[in-house]
Amino acid sequence: MTLGEDWMAIVEKVSDFRDRLQNFAFPEVAQSYSTKDCILYALGIGFGEDPTHRAELPFVFEEPTLHVVPSMAAVLASPGFWARDPATGIDWHRFLHAEQEVVLHRQLPTDATVRARTRITRIIDKGEAKGALIYLERDIADQFGALATVKVVNFARGNGGCGGDNGPQPAPHKMPVRAPETKFETHTDPRSALFYRLSGDPNPLHVDPDVAAAAGFERPILHGLCSFGIATRAILATYCDYNPERLRSIKLRFSKPVYPGETIRVEMWRDGSEVSFRATVADRGVTALDHGCALID
């Protein structure tokens, strides 16, 4: 095979991967959930940490009226761990959650059947040794209409050189330069990942020590969406008086992993209806969530 033929083979391989990924057939997902699922989700992100906290009780107790955490939309009608499907060609051992956003169109009901289909909207190729960013969206609806739009960015560390566009990557939310105005701190349970996975994220990276080691972590890490839920809890507690109807959207960028059992400190700034935030792991002094922005009423 000549040099030119080698080059053509590489181009064809790259194009094949890009085309397969862009055309990956996500099935429509229908999911029925109940009050019990809403409570399990809230417990998984730390609600009820203090069982006597009266403001948090409505999220974990159905009487007289259950409140649904808005960030639960992130796990509804999800395609699951789709990157593990061999048809994608993704190195799933090196597949990470990079960014997350939830836009609420109305309050989530306590019991519903919802439907959604995930679609890939963009692939940014950062280079062969740098990985690729995969942008996804899904619109969630029930029988009464739109509930939420979920946007996700995944970082495929092992799939650089895939032939996607070369950017630029959209700029993250700009953080204030002044000192944080408020802080919310919570200690995660060492079993947090075991609880949270029951809300719909089966990635073994968060449970199996061998899979975590293969991905370069000393032990299973906490789900990014669990940290996302904890940040939502902080916004609800600090600026929404625990009223879920006041939260319109929330987005963030994942920066460093959190290990179950660590303490998360969410720092916040408010400018009108916009709340900026970041979260640090108090035990290690690293930023776990960054460039966070929530819109509130």
Question: How many angstroms separate the Cα of 30 from the Cα of each of 76, 114, 146, 240?
Answer: 9, 6, 14, 31
Q: What is the pTM of this model?
A: 0.90
- What is the chain's alpha carbon radius of gyration, rounded to the nearest angstrom? 20
**Interatomic CA distance for residues 145 and 58, integer angstroms:** 25
Is it true that domain 3-296 has CATH number 3.10.129.10?
Answer: yes
39-86 per-position pLDDT tens digit: 999 999 999 999 999 999 999 999 999 999 999 999 999 998 888 888
Q: What is the identity of the amino acid at 288?
A: A
Domain ranges of the chain: 3-296
Give yes or no for a contact between 148 and 112, defined as CB atoms under 8 angstroms apart: no
- Among 154, 170, 151, smallest CA distance to 162 is for 154
Averaged pLDDT, 266-273: 98
21 phi and psi, to 5 degrees?
Answer: -70, -45
- Note the pLDDT of residue 224: 93
133-166 per-position pLDDT tens digit: 899 999 999 999 999 999 999 888 777 667 777 7
